Amino acid sequence: MSGDVYGTNDQKAAARAWFEALRDRLCAELEKIEDEVRGPAKDFGPPGHFVRTPWLRKGIEGDGGTMAVLRGRVFEKAGVNVSTVAGEFSEEFRARIPGATQDPRFWASGVSVVKNPRSPKVPIAHMNTRFIVTTKGWFGGGADLTPVFPLAGDTADFHAALKAACDRFDPAWYARFKKWCDEYFYLPHRGEARGVGGIFYDELAGGDFARDFAFTQAVGEAFLDVYPRLARRHLDESWTEADRQVQLIKRGRYVEFNLLYDRGTLFGLKTGGNTEAILMSLPPLTAWP
């Protein structure tokens, strides 16, 4: 526990700026993949570009976000949201949120990305990180991979990238956050994991803002590095209608997870968040045959 005060205006500004910069880099990288593709995705029209839609919560300046959605040829639908909101937790939430019983006001900023590739051979992926300030302050987030047809090499590379990010901060974190991810992204009603995991962490408050922020940045950087490598690896592969059907069913599981269990989704929908932005994570086409 080093002596940083957690939640100053400078820290908020720095976190927000970093989330927005990561958004810009994620968008640029996905657009680059859309441009350079030489494989079967070429048949699905021109390269896609992100369309950004800003929104304000309750019409209040500085309390809202920007939804960026790409509908392209490699990525049937990819969304990157940034939001920075301030408000008061309702009675319902106060007891469950660190530091909110003394004072219900909060400030939160974050970035989230969900990629739904057109090809069933290119893995679905999700990443989000956030900085929340009440009378306490903490970072949370995670990244996980949901391949339709899991491959040991992809899974190993994805986990290795996240492990390297964790190991620079604490040798115990990767194992802990991987387990947390496995437990979190699990569908009990199906007895199935959502995908092949990754890491998940919340209420990361060692009391050292600089270290916690640096870790969240490392997670973002790791994802920005590894996911495009995995996507490019499979861009030249063809797929069958049967592969596509397996993909649409897998996407249905993703919908089940997000609407039944995902804390961020349920929290956002119950606290007057932007519905279109929150549900941007839902896949473009889904089957429950």
Provide the annotated active-site residues.
Answer: 126
Binding range to a second copy, per CB under 8 A, among 24-32, 83-91, 95-103, 250-258:
250-258
CB-based burial label for 241 (10 Å; 0-12, 13-18, 19+): exposed
Considering only residues 32, 190, 229, 263, which one is a binding residue for a second copy as defined by CB under 8 A?
A: 190
- How many whole angstroms separate alpha carbon 124 and alpha carbon 25? 19
Is 195 an interacting residue with respect to a second copy (CB under 8 A)? no
Cα–chain center distance at 257 = 14
CB-based burial label for 191 (10 Å; 0-12, 13-18, 19+): exposed
Residue 218 or 249: the one with the smaller Cβ distance to a second copy is 249
Is 193 an interacting residue with respect to a second copy (CB under 8 A)? no
> At its nearest, how many Å lie between a second copy and the CB of residue 257?
10
DSSP secondary structure, 76-134, as one string = EEEEEEEEEEEEE--HHHHTTSTTTTT--EEEEEEEEEEEEESSTTSPEEEEEEEEEES
> At its nearest, how many Å lie between a second copy and the CB of residue 249?
11
The three-state secondary structure class of 4 is: coil
> At its nearest, how many Å lie between a second copy and the CB of residue 289?
6
Binding to a second copy in span 45-84, by CB under 8 A: 71, 77
Considering only residues 180, 248, 264, 267, which one is a binding residue for a second copy as defined by CB under 8 A?
A: 248
Nearest to 179 by CA among 165, 193, 168: 193
Considering only residues 59, 62, 153, 289, which one is a binding residue for a second copy as defined by CB under 8 A?
A: 289
Binding to a second copy in span 254-273, by CB under 8 A: 255-256, 259-260, 266, 269
Backbone angles phi, psi at 118, to 5 degrees: -75, -40
Binding site for a second copy (CB under 8 A): 71, 77, 189-190, 248, 252, 255-256, 259-260, 266, 269, 275, 278-279, 282-289
